[in-house]
């Protein structure tokens, strides 16, 4: 039985009440493609939407006859997104869509959703209501199997939208909710047994708003229900004064939050305000750096944070990156108002930015080591905060160079963890002006170094997206400016990536020349990291295509040895791929398959689609050589689907295209055009995870499917025939000349 896809979070405590609302929302989901659940902050919109969506999921197993939500239910949390330009990126991220192609993210979303049947829950869109409405309209028109459940404080106002206003809970459900949460706090004791009238009056005073009730229940650690009621009653009038423009229920919620805030100790109120600068999940180390100070010593932060967790102001959650924390948007907004009142917002945002700049720099260093998977998970969790940090740099006079530095420092995340589109967004923004507002001219200072790094990283990202024109411009500009400012390291990186560009466009002699030049510079400068190892693997691949297999294998062995010593896996995966390519060229198919299996596993772990699709293509060719053309065709189809997310298939290079054509020719000849096409279509229908599973499982069946009169061994490659295929292909379709790409390294 196949698992049902999706990303809905598990419920941490019991869903209470709302039986009528749940039934009505479930009914609406059967009849409308767009339902917008609206209501005041804290009324329980998200909890109801997620609970209803979870109930709507089909059970794991065979697909239901109507295929309703057969592609799952997905939650996109948009509350931390402030830049309209990131809306599409955030949705693609929630859907786990990775695209390296350089296509606009909207086009990627349309393609991904075009033939899928799923429910998309959009939560917290009100700060971007107009662009979100335009996005939803576009996707619903183009993707017939898509259904949207939007959750916010106002409707999207789209044609066909069914608005479902969510009122506060009725009195009975509110009392039950308070009792349930009170029992959690008190270890099983239910206050309804002894304080029923007080609890019901408390619920009435708080307008039965779930968030207000949960905040009040958290106070039972220190107060009785009667004490809570008296305190709310005493302060109700005071705390709602000056709120004439607000609806009564908004005022009630602010009363509950304000009352909870007033009951906090001074240190707790201060930490609450300072935590509001975090745009998404955060960890203890970040809190200790950003929020500590003379009035809040670092040694006390953990205890104060624990008190805010106990009072439901901060929520603790387990993530792939470890234990983290977050604040509900309504609570965070209240803290932000207090931070403004303290005139401390600017300083705290700068401390927040400095922490994430330091964290990114540390991750970059640690990336060359055994913690790559941990760093990838940490960067995923920190992405909303990284965005906020870059945004602050780019909107502050004189600090554009800091944004360039941060966007460049995250190269390992953009290129190594399937984030090319996001990285391109920030690199383009950081480099758009010649100098940002108030920026001094280039003078060889740190500002120039930051800009040069952003330029070569942009060139690298653009290469992987297939945008060779942008890559060429950025890398030549970087190389020229590096020469002018005597920045030898930036010059080496620019030359390295120009060599990578030559490799992927099929100019192997030039690729070898540039890559050797860059690696020589790295040795002189003492530079050793994952990028340098990638340069060696890229040089080895150019040597494979040039026919110097012994030198290529020796380079790969060197890279693999360094990776084993350091614990590095990402660059290792590319060395494994090149080594497998050499093994395939020599006809050593068993060796090639073992090397590729490890490479595929690593690429899939990091969601590196460029490496994954290259390894899948070669796995298909190995499979064909083993005498299993049907399975080879399936893998080619799976690779074809991945190429749509990477860019131009096989980089548009005759050199990379020749092995693919050889595999297709063998499989098509063995199976016949119709059967080959059917197998390719089967592969194209596989998800990324299913394709990886299929590739790692090995050929299906016990016998090869080959034409009469042939044996599986007839399909095994030899060095002569494989190199001849490449040379013949290049003779028919010459690669770009050096003049098309630019001058040489010394240029």
Q: Rounded to whole angstroms, how far apart are CA atoms 511 and 544?
A: 12
pLDDT digits (tens, 9 = 90+) for 231-242: 776 554 434 443
Q: Dihedral sign for Cα 53, 55, 60, 62, please.
A: negative
pLDDT digits (tens, 9 = 90+) for 13-42: 888 888 999 999 999 999 899 999 988 778
Contact 377, 367 (CB under 8 A): no
pLDDT of residue 705: 40
**Ranges assigned E (strand) in 78-145:** 118-123
Query: Over 80: is that where the pLDDT of 570 sits?
Result: yes
pLDDT band at 534 (very low <50, low <70, confident <90, very high): very high
Query: Over 80: is that where the pLDDT of 246 sits?
Result: no
* Better-predicted residue by pLDDT, 166 or 445: 166
The Cβ of residue 612 has, within 10 Å, a number of other Cβ atoms equal to: 30
pTM of the model: 0.76
* Better-predicted residue by pLDDT, 279 or 264: 279
Query: Over 50: is that where the pLDDT of 724 sits?
Result: no
pLDDT digits (tens, 9 = 90+) for 445-454: 667 899 999 9
pLDDT band at 440 (very low <50, low <70, confident <90, very high): low
| pLDDT-above-90 percentage for the chain | 55
* Better-predicted residue by pLDDT, 175 or 211: 175
Nearest to 625 by CA among 670, 655, 656: 670
Query: Over 80: is that where the pLDDT of 439 sits?
Result: no
Token pair 């905040």 is found at: 215
Token pair 């190269």 is found at: 411
The Cβ of residue 96 has, within 10 Å, a number of other Cβ atoms equal to: 16
Q: Rounded to whole angstroms, how far apart are CA atoms 39 and 165?
A: 6
HSE, side-chain direction, 13 A CA sphere, residue 214: 19
pLDDT band at 732 (very low <50, low <70, confident <90, very high): very low
- Which three-class secondary structure state does DSSP give residue 225? helix
* Better-predicted residue by pLDDT, 191 or 331: 331
Q: Which domains does the chain show, CATH number per domain?
A: 19-165 (3.40.50.300), 171-263 (no CATH), 588-716 (no CATH)
pLDDT of residue 678: 94
Residues 6+ apart with CB under 8 A from 719: 549, 585, 586, 587
Token pair 């080591």 is found at: 369
Query: Over 60: is that where the pLDDT of 442 sits?
Result: no
pLDDT of residue 558: 94
Side by side, the strands of the sheet bearing 161-165 are 73-77, 118-123, 146-152, 34-38, 161-165
Q: Dihedral sign for Cα 675, 677, 680, 685, please.
A: negative
DSSP state of 319: E
For residue 16, what are the CA distances in angstroms to 182, 183, 214, 590?
A: 13, 13, 12, 58
pLDDT band at 292 (very low <50, low <70, confident <90, very high): very high
Query: Over 90: is that where the pLDDT of 513 sits?
Result: yes
**Element containing residue 450 per DSSP (H, E):** helix 446-465
Nearest to 428 by CA among 461, 384, 395, 476: 461
pLDDT band at 320 (very low <50, low <70, confident <90, very high): confident
**Chain centre distance of CA 90:** 8
pLDDT of residue 191: 65
**Mean pLDDT of the residues in the chain:** 84
- Which three-class secondary structure state does DSSP give residue 315? strand
pLDDT band at 193 (very low <50, low <70, confident <90, very high): low
- Which three-class secondary structure state does DSSP give residue 701? coil
Reading the block at residue 361, the tokens are: 């720099």
Nearest to 594 by CA among 523, 743, 695: 695
Q: Rounded to whole angstroms, how far apart are CA atoms 260 and 36?
A: 30
pLDDT digits (tens, 9 = 90+) for 350-366: 999 999 999 999 999 99
pLDDT band at 189 (very low <50, low <70, confident <90, very high): low
pLDDT of residue 441: 54
What are 334-337's contacts with CB under 8 Å, separation 24+? 334/254, 334/257, 334/258, 334/261, 334/272, 335/272, 335/273, 335/274, 335/275, 335/276, 336/273, 336/276, 336/277
Query: Over 50: is that where the pLDDT of 738 sits?
Result: no
Contact 308, 265 (CB under 8 A): no
DSSP state of 282: B
Token pair 């596989």 is found at: 686
Residue 193, class by beta-carbon neighbours within 10 Å (0-12 exposed, 13-18 middle, 19+ buried)?
A: exposed
| Radius of gyration for the chain, computed over Cα atoms and rounded to the nearest angstrom | 29
pLDDT of residue 260: 75
Q: Rounded to whole angstroms, how far apart are CA atoms 668 and 629?
A: 8
pLDDT of residue 744: 37
Q: What is the DSSP string of 191-209?
A: THHHHHHHHHHHHHHTTT-
Query: Average pLDDT of 194-207?
Result: 83
Query: Over 60: is that where the pLDDT of 711 sits?
Result: no
How would you classify residue 322: left for phi > 0, otherwise alpha for psi between -120 and 50, otherwise beta?
A: left
* Better-predicted residue by pLDDT, 465 or 391: 391
Q: Rounded to whole angstroms, how far apart are CA atoms 302 and 298?
A: 8
Contact 172, 38 (CB under 8 A): no
pLDDT of residue 216: 83
Q: Rounded to whole angstroms, how far apart are CA atoms 164 and 24?
A: 9
For residue 698, what are the CA distances in angstroms to 443, 580, 597, 601, 695?
A: 57, 15, 9, 13, 6
Reading the block at residue 301, the tokens are: 């932060």
Contact 128, 100 (CB under 8 A): no
pLDDT digits (tens, 9 = 90+) for 620-667: 999 999 999 999 999 999 999 888 877 778 877 888 888 889 999 999
Query: Over 80: is that where the pLDDT of 431 sits?
Result: yes
Q: Rounded to whole angstroms, how far apart are CA atoms 262 and 334?
A: 12
> 149 - beta bridge partners?
35, 121
pLDDT of residue 319: 76
Query: Over 60: is that where the pLDDT of 697 sits?
Result: yes
pLDDT of residue 234: 58
Query: Over 80: is that where the pLDDT of 274 sits?
Result: yes
Q: Rounded to whole angstroms, how far apart are CA atoms 107 and 263?
A: 50
Length of the chain measured in residues: 747
Query: Among 154-158, 373-377, 650-654, 739-743, which stretch is predicted with the lowest mean pLDDT?
Result: 739-743
Q: What is the DSSP string of 608-665?
A: -HHHHHHHHHHHHHHHHHTT-HHHHHHHHHHHHHHHHHHSSGGGG-HHHHHHHHHHHH
pLDDT band at 714 (very low <50, low <70, confident <90, very high): very low
* Better-predicted residue by pLDDT, 437 or 450: 450
Query: Over 60: is that where the pLDDT of 746 sits?
Result: no
């Amino acid at each position: 039985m196949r698992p049902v896809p999706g990303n809905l979070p598990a419920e941490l405590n019991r869903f209470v009440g709302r039986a009528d609302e749940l039934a009505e929302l479930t009914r609406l989901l059967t009849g409308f493609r767009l339902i917008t659940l609206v209501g005041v902050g804290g009324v329980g919109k998200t909890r109801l939407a997620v609970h209803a969506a979870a109930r709507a999921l089909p059970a794991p197993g065979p697909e239901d006859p109507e295929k309703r939500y057969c592609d799952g239910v997905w939650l996109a949390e948009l509350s931390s997104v402030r830049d309209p330009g990131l809306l599409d990126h955030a949705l693609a991220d929630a859907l786990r869509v990775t695209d390296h192609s350089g296509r606009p993210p909207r086009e990627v979303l349309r393609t991904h959703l075009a033939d899928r049947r799923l429910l998309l829950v959009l939560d917290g869109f009100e700060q971007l209501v107009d662009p979100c409405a335009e996005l939803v309209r576009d996707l619903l028109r183009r993707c017939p199997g898509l259904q949207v459940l939007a959750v916010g404080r106002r409707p999207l106002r789209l044609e066909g939208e069914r608005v479902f206003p969510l009122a506060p809970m009725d009195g009975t459900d509110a009392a039950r909710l308070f009792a349930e949460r009170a029992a959690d706090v008190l270890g099983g004791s239910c206050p309804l047994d002894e304080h029923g009238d007080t609890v019901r009056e408390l619920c009435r005073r708080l307008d039965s708003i779930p968030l207000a009730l949960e905040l009040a229940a958290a106070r039972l650690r220190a107060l009785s229900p009667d004490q809570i009621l008296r305190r709310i009653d005493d302060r109700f009038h005071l705390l709602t004064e000056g709120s004439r423009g607000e609806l009564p229920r908004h005022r009630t919620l602010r009363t509950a939050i304000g009352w909870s805030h007033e009951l906090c100790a001074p240190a707790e109120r201060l930490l609450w305000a300072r935590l509001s600068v975090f745009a998404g999940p955060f960890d203890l180390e970040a809190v200790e750096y950003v929020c500590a100070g003379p009035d809040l010593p670092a040694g006390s932060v953990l205890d104060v944070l624990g008190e805010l967790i106990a009072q439901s102001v901060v929520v603790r959650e387990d993530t792939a990156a470890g234990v983290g924390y977050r604040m509900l948007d309504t609570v965070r907004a209240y803290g932000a108002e207090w931070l403004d009142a303290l005139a401390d917002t600017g300083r705290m945002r700068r401390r927040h930015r400095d922490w994430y700049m330091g964290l990114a720099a540390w991750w970059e260093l640690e990336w060359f080591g055994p913690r790559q998977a941990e760093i990838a998970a940490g960067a995923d969790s920190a992405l909303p905060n990284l965005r906020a940090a870059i945004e602050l740099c780019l909107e502050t006079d004189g600090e554009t160079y800091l944004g360039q530095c941060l966007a460049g420092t995250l190269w390992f995340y953009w290129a190594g963890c399937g984030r090319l589109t996001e990285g391109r967004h920030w690199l383009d923004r950081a480099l758009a002006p010649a100098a940002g507002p108030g920026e001094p001219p280039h003078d060889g200072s740190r500002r120039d170094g930051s800009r040069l790094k952003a330029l070569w990283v942009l060139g690298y990202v653009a290469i992987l997206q297939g945008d060779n024109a942008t890559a060429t411009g950025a890398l030549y500009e970087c190389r020229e400016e590096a020469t002018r400012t005597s920045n030898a390291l930036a010059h080496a990186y620019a030359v390295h990536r120009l060599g990578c560009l030559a490799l992927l466009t099929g100019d192997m002699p030039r690729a070898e020349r540039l890559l050797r030049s860059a690696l020589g510079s790295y040795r002189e400068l003492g530079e050793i990291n994952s990028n340098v190892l990638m340069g060696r693997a890229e040089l080895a691949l150019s040597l494979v295509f040039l026919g110097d297999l012994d030198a290529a294998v020796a380079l790969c062995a060197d890279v693999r040895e360094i990776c084993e010593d350091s614990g590095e896996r990402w660059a290792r995966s590319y060395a494994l791929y090149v080594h497998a390519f050499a093994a395939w060229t020599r006809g050593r198919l068993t060796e090639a398959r073992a090397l590729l299996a490890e490479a595929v596993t690593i690429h899939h772990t990091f969601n590196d689609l460029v490496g994954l699709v290259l390894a899948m293509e070669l796995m298909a060719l190995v499979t064909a050589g083993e005498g299993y053309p049907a399975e080879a065709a399936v893998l080619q189809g799976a690779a074809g689907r991945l190429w749509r997310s990477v860019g131009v298939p096989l980089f548009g290079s005759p050199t990379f295209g020749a092995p693919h054509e050889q595999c297709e020719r063998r499989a098509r000849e063995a199976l016949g055009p119709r059967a080959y096409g059917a197998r390719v279509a089967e592969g194209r229908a596989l998800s990324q995870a299913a394709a990886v599973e299929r590739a790692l499982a090995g050929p299906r069946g016990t016998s090869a499917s080959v034409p009469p009169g042939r044996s599986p061994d007839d399909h095994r490659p030899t060095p002569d025939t494989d190199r001849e295929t490449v040379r013949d292909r290049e003779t028919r379709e010459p690669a770009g000349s050096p003049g098309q790409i630019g001058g040489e390294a010394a240029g």
